[in-house]
Each structure stands twice: as C-alpha cells, then as structure tokens.
C-alpha cells in the first residue's frame, strides 16, 4: 500500500528542537498521515498503514483543531552534532595565571 515516511512524526513524539515544518495531520486511531488540505478523515492517507480490512474509528470525522484524536505531523530534523569535548591533556597544559607580589 503506502510507504511510511520516516522523516515525519507526530509532533508530540519529537523534542521541540527537532521539529521541522508542519507537513500533515496525524490520526492517532489509525497511525496514518493525511494531507494538510484534507478537511475530513477520508481514509486516503499520504503515509501510514493499510487499513482496508477495518476502517478507522475516526473515518469521516472533520479535522477540527478542538478534537484530540489527531495532531499535526512534522518533519523530523537531524540531531545536532555533539559538542566537541575538551581534551584533559590540553586543559592541563594551559598556562596558569601567575600572581605577582
């Protein structure tokens, strides 16, 4: 059926610093992503599971901002590279300030 896009995720599952632009609407019932222009849960996801055998309980419901059965899907940004570690030898070799009397 449709492939799963691993670069998208529900916004609540991703830390704020790794959230990219909003790309879809995510149904919590069928774990599928629907296009942003979709006004209704019509059973035609962009990405997600094939649920032909049993339809989602939210089928036909409007994507209303006040409802909690769906949330926005966002792009997952790459993790920030780790900060370079200061080598202990370099820190010990640094000259210490000398006091003058």
> Please, what are the averages of pLDDT over each run of 10 residues along the chain (101 residues)?
68 92 91 90 72 77 93 90 69 61 56
pLDDT at 2: 45
Identify the pLDDT of residue 19.
93
pLDDT the model gives residue 67: 93
Residue 34 lies in a domain: yes
Number of domains in the chain: 1
Per the structure, the complete domain to which residue 32 belongs is given by 8-77
Domain membership flag for residue 91: no
Asked if the structure places residue 92 within a domain, the reply is no
Distance (Å) of CA 83 to CA 20, 49, 57, 77, 91: 22, 38, 46, 17, 16
Q: State how far the Cα of 16 lies from the Cα of 13, in Å rounded to an integer.
A: 9
């Amino acid at each position: 059926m449709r492939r799963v896009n691993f670069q998208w995720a529900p916004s609540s599952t991703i830390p704020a610093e790794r959230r990219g632009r909003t790309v879809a609407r995510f149904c919590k019932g069928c774990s599928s992503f629907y296009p942003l222009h979709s006004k209704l849960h019509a059973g035609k996801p962009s990405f997600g599971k094939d649920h032909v055998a049993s339809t989602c309980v939210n089928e036909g419901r409007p994507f209303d901002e006040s409802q909690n059965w769906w949330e926005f899907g966002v792009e997952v940004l790459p993790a920030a590279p780790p900060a370079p570690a200061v080598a202990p030898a370099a820190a010990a070799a640094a000259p210490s300030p000398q006091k003058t009397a």
